[in-house]
Structure 1
Amino acid sequence: MLETWVPSKDGGSEHIAAHTFTFRELAVATKNFRADCLLGEGGFGRVYKGRLESTNKIVAIKQLDRNGLQGNREFLVEVLMLSLLHHPNLVNLIGYCADGDQRLLVYEYMPLGSLEDHLHDLPPDKKRLDWNTRMKIAAGAAKGLEYLHDKANPPVIYRDLKCSNILLGEDYHPKLSDFGLAKLGPVGDKTHVSTRVMGTYGYCAPEYAMTGQLTLKSDVYSFGVVLLEIITGRKAIDNTRAAGDHNLVAWARPLFKDRRKFSQMADPLLQGQYPVRGLYQALAVAAMCVQEQPNMRPLIADVVTALSYLASQKYDPETQPIQGSRTSSSTPRVRRE
């Protein structure tokens, strides 16, 4: 049992415990890590679907690559972070295994996979995400980030926000996962923490990529990239596109300047079924999040407010015109504060 004592808000201490599993238990749960139990492969190892014999519970089991110290450090960070942090929009860590050189993490199983699975390279039979579901996912992911930035003490910089790290539960309920790269944020009068640049190309804030200076606003930039992916259906980096269009933010920046081009940015898979005003407002939020200057980006709490409002405005394609039809031209102007 991993046991930690952490200071609580009232000056006392809270006792946190994460369940420990033997390697044998997890091997049995995954039928000896059989290929047909493999859910996916990430930067830190493979993830398997398993059933725990003791509780009959379906879980996701991440087996970390045995690549020495870095992997071990990330394993410890993940166990500590997720043992201490609890929120409806963060994935739940059930326990871990540290038998010999084996390092495994056991999470709640998220039946709908990752956001990336629903946005990019979709097979023909896969259901397309509608506008309402996209806004619900965006608002939920922002709430998870808000908890890390504003409720956790000290604040936590997530550092690796991307579509593949947003997992979806029943009814497309989003949860942030993969905390191996998370850092405790600046404390006192410090404005940033300095660290070697880690994370994913295309999602990294420019100032962090160039200087290694990590702030809460670095996460806000990454969130803006994710929001753009949700709205446009494009990948953060897509080398299959024309030369100037590989980078999503670089492609979007000139279009942000002309509202008449906003409709060109909507994911074609939406087939025009979105509220014009909602699209404009969501793009305005994304544009603010991916600004070059960190101090110009909004606080995540303000992003949550804006996206919660958009998620509450249910769009009904039956009663509202499909975009591109004549009736949709008289749309109200949207201010970008």
Structure 2
Amino acid sequence: MSPNFIGLWLFSLGILTLVHSKTDSKDVAALNVMYTSLNSPKKLKDWEASGGDPCADGWTGIECSGSSVTEINLSGLGLSGSLGYQLSNLASVTNFDVSNNKLSGDIPYQLPPNVNHLDLSNNGFTGTVPYSISLMKSLKDLDLSHNQLNGQLTDMFSSLSNLGLLDLSYNKLSGSLPQSFGSLSSLSSLFLQDNQLNGQINVLAKLKLNELNLANNKFSGWIPNELTKLKKIDIEGNSWSSGQPPPGMTSSGNIKSTHMEKGGMSGIMIAVIIMGILVVIAIVLAILSRTRSSFSSSLFEEHDDQSDRKSLNYFGSNRYTTDPGTDKGFKDHEVKALQSSGPISLKPSLSNRMKSFRNKEPGSNAASQRKVSFEITLYTLAELQTATSNFAMSRLLGEGSIGRVYKAKRPDGKVIVVKKISSSFFQDGKGEKFSDVVSSLSKIYHPNVVELSGHCSEQRHNMLVYDFFRNGSIHGYLHLSDEFSRPLTWNTRVKIALGTAQAVEYLHETCSLVHRSIKSSNILLDMELNPRLTECGLASFYQEAGGNQGGGWFAPECTNAASYTFKSDVYSFGVVMLELLTGRMPFDSTKPKSEQYLVQWALSQLHDIDALDRMVDPSLRGLYPPKSISQFADIVALCVQMEPEFRPPMSEVVQSLLRLVKRPSLSNRGLDDYEY
């Protein structure tokens, strides 16, 4: 065989290979990750977890133009799982539709950057509306309806001048409408019904809307005159103002709502649905009427394993007591039903007082100066004894260095936490100290801080009362895994780190307070998994209790009570970030000796890309953007420096985390054009 023939044959083979393998490698990699994240469903024929050629092989739901994937339509396939973390690689995708599936978790921050039509509706997505949407300047249709999204809408809409349809209906969104809504110059259809949005809607006045649905929210104020001209509008189920409206406004009574949904329904269909709903309601009421008496009598009797387990490490407790036979939990339905039970009556006028003051929140903008009012309740000893079953062991959540923590229930059904400060702190004429502590705590307010809700000082019993958080602490989520736990996504971990950092920054720069006990068990999670820092303002008690108590989260210089500073708080916060990164405890005696202390084990590896990949919490299952991990590790490395002077102030830590959340990546490697 001649050399010329062999050369021609190899050239032809190369051409054939190029013709067949035509899909862009970045697109293939993104779809591979997506397929794995969707639990490798059989319905996605020809899809592969590694490699493949989506365009040439006709993968289900994939449309291409040349070598680029341009459309992904997987609507109504019964898919579960999540969407992965490399969707930002799909730079040519203009239509992305995964509606009507069973997808869950947070909506990825890494979405196709140039998409025109994005439909994630009718799934089980949680978390907030991702800020990365603000970068999608080509976006025309955005449908996130019928999910479980929560939290407030941030000012992310200023650059979306091409957006024509926005549907956020049937979620759990709260707060007021962002001012950037006013920049949606092309918006014609806006659906916000069935959320928990509040405030006024003046920002919508200048929009060129054709249809608007605000039904079943908590909006207030007046209706701008411009909105009265809309052909399709539904504003019912809100708290609109009544009486004579100001100029340029009209009352809700002058607007005839058009009960409309996106897409519309015939009158016959609506009637059929209403009749079906009425039948279901009748059946449910019949069932409830039969079970109500037995249901009410079971209060305080049904054990809530999940609540009890997640309550571990609550409010700084180091030792925990649970008795499966006696420690009963408190379920949501119990809280509602208990309104008709319990003989205790809290003193309504004498026991309540209001605190109102101006508060500066670091890291915020327009909201940084606002007046905050909240209620501090003065409880009697008898009230708290009854609420805790006389401080029974079955109500004990834990015992720390400054006292015991109990779970309690008020007669109105509200579940609270009672921190009973040890009497040893009030001996030798120190009785006045508790009133000073209460006065100081009553002035602490931040969205990421658990604020004081009540107190009691009677017969040498000094107690602080806080709201109860059913999700428990970060420690519980990361280290007490059981059948009730679910792993925290990477997006949620970054959110937790940022919120906690802002809380510590507030304590340092606004309140001039050293926390002294920043650890994962002192960071609780609300229903939206937002962090709430506890034990704030109790440093004086910890100082009397002693110096470094071990555990792996104290800075190395904290050898005595006087050595705690803002910089030692920064170190402890860095340890919490390490826990979020690795899923490991600050100290773990079950590990090999060289790995028992988390900081000592991790510090030398934080700048090693290969080692860092091995350090990441295995429960994340690889679902994280590598560059975000690297940037997160860089912040950790600064916080846990051995010498205090080399650690940054919390304000710089906050700014670094904010950049990690909001800044477009400078990387051209295609992994993450936008990272969280």
Which residue of structure 2 aligns with residue 52 of structure 1?
A: 410
Match of 1:208, SS state, is coil
Look up the equivalent residue of 1:60 and give its one-letter code: V
Distance in structure 1 (CA, Å) of the matches to 2:449 and 2:535: 10
Task: Letter of the 1:88 partner, please give it.
Answer: P
2:655 corresponds, among 299, 305, 327, to 305
Q: SS of the counterpart of 2:407? A: strand
166-175 or 63-72, larger mean C-alpha shift: 63-72
Q: Judge which range, 278-287 or 80-89, deviates more.
A: 80-89
Structure 2 CA distance, aligned partners of 1:72 and 1:256? Answer: 48
Counterpart of 1:167?
524
Deviation at 1:266, TM superposition (A): 0.5
Q: 1:217 to 1:304 in 2, by over 3 A?
A: same
Give the whole-Å Cα distance in 2 for the aligned partners of 1:182 and 1:258.
37
- Give the secondary structure class of the aligned counterpart of 2:558: helix
| Deviation, structure 1 residue 6 | 12
Return the TM-score normalized by structure 1.
Answer: 0.78
| AA in 2 matched with 1:49 | K
**Corresponding residue for residue 264 of structure 1:** 614
Change (3 A) 1:251 1:39: same
Structure 2 CA distance, aligned partners of 1:198 and 1:120?
A: 22
Deviations 1:167-222 (A, max 9, x none): 11111111111136426xxxxxxxxx9x9625554122122337943321111111
Q: Which amino acid aligns with 1:166?
A: I
Q: Residues 8, 269 of structure 1: CA spacing in aligned structure 2 closer, same or farther, 3 A cutoff?
A: closer
Is 1:72–1:103's contact at 8 Å kept on the other side of the alignment?
A: no
Instruction: Classify the secondary structure of the residue corresponding to 1:138.
Output: helix
Distance 1:78 1:110 in 2: 23
**Alignment partner of 1:60: what SS?**
strand
Structure-2 residue corresponding to 1:176: 533
Distance 1:7 1:35, change over 3 A: closer
Name the structure 1 match of 2:395. Answer: 37
The one of 587, 608, 628 equivalent to 1:278 is: 628
Q: Distance in 2 between matches of 1:166 and 1:46?
A: 17
> Is 1:215 aligned to residue 565 of structure 2?
yes
Q: CA deviation at 1:68?
A: 4.6
Structure 1 Cα separation of the partners of residues 357 and 529 of structure 2:
34
Give the secondary structure class of the aligned counterpart of 1:292. Answer: coil
Q: Specify which structure has the higher proportion of helix.
A: 1
Quick check: 1:146 aligned with 2:505?
A: yes
The 3 A distance-change label for structure 1 pair 88 and 247 is same
Aligned position for 2:642: 292
Using CA pairs under 8 Å that are at least 6 residues apart, name the structure with larger relative contact order, 1 or 2. Answer: 1
Cα distance in 2 for partners of 1:48, 1:259 equals 44
Please name the residue that 1:319 is paired with.
Answer: none
Corresponding residue to 1:63 among 406, 413, 420: 420
Report the AA paired with residue 469 of structure 2: M
CA contact (8 A) 2:607 2:634 kept: no
* Local SS of the residue matching 2:611: helix
CA contact (8 A) 2:513 2:537 kept: no
Distance change >3 Å, CA 331–CA 295, structure 1 → 2: farther
| CA separation of 1:60 and 1:115: change in aligned 2, threshold 3 A | same
Alignment partner of 1:99 out of 434, 437, 458: 458
CA gap 1:238/1:60 in 2 versus in 1, 3 angstroms: same
* 2:475 equivalent to 1:116: yes
**1:26 corresponds to 2:384:** yes
Instruction: State whether structure 2 residue 591 is matched by structure 1 residue 241.
Output: yes
CA distance in 2, matches of 1:29, 1:307: 41
Distance of 1:37 and 1:102 partners within structure 2? 17
Q: State the distance in 1 between where 2:423 and 2:406 align.
A: 16
Q: How many residues align?
A: 303
How many angstroms apart in 1 are the aligned matches of 2:520 and 2:499? 13
SS in 1 for 2:602: helix
For structure 2, the residue ranges without an aligned partner over 5 or more in a row are: 1-350, 360-372
Q: Residue 6 and residue 110 in structure 1: after superposition, are their counterparts in 2 closer, same or farther (change >3 A)?
A: closer
Q: In structure 1, what residue type is equivalent to 2:442?
A: S
Are the aligned partners of 1:58 and 1:108 in contact in 2 as well (CA < 8 Å)?
yes
Deviations 1:239-278 (A, max 9, x none): 1111111111100112124222111110111111111011
Deviates more, 1:56-65 or 1:110-119: 56-65
CA 1:233/1:39 → structure 2, altered by over 3 Å: closer, same or farther?
A: same
**Matches of 2:465 and 2:509 in 1, distance apart?**
27
- Contact kept, 8 Å, 1:148 with 1:158, in 2: the verdict is yes
CA distance in 2, matches of 1:49, 1:106: 10
Shift of 1:310: 3.3
Any conservation in 2 of the 1:77–1:180 contact (CA below 8 Å)? no
Where 2:424 maps in the other structure, the secondary structure is coil
Instruction: Kindly provide the amino acid, as one letter, of the partner of residue 30 in structure 1.
Output: T
- The structure-2 alpha-carbon separation of the partners of 1:312 and 1:124, relative to structure 1 and needing over 3 Å to count, comes to farther
Residue matched to 2:574: 224
1:158 aligns to 2:515 (yes or no): yes
Cα distance 1:147–1:85, how it changes in 2: closer, same or farther (>3 A)?
same
Question: Aligned partner of 2:464: which letter?
Answer: L
Alpha-carbon distance in structure 2 between the residues aligned to 1:107 and 1:78: 14
| Structure 1 Cα separation of the partners of residues 646 and 528 of structure 2 | 34
Secondary structure of the 1:237 match is coil
2:420 partner SS? strand
8 Å contact from structure 2 (residues 475, 521) kept in 1? yes
Q: TM-score normalised to the size of structure 2?
A: 0.41
The yes-or-no answer on 1:250 pairing with 2:594 is no
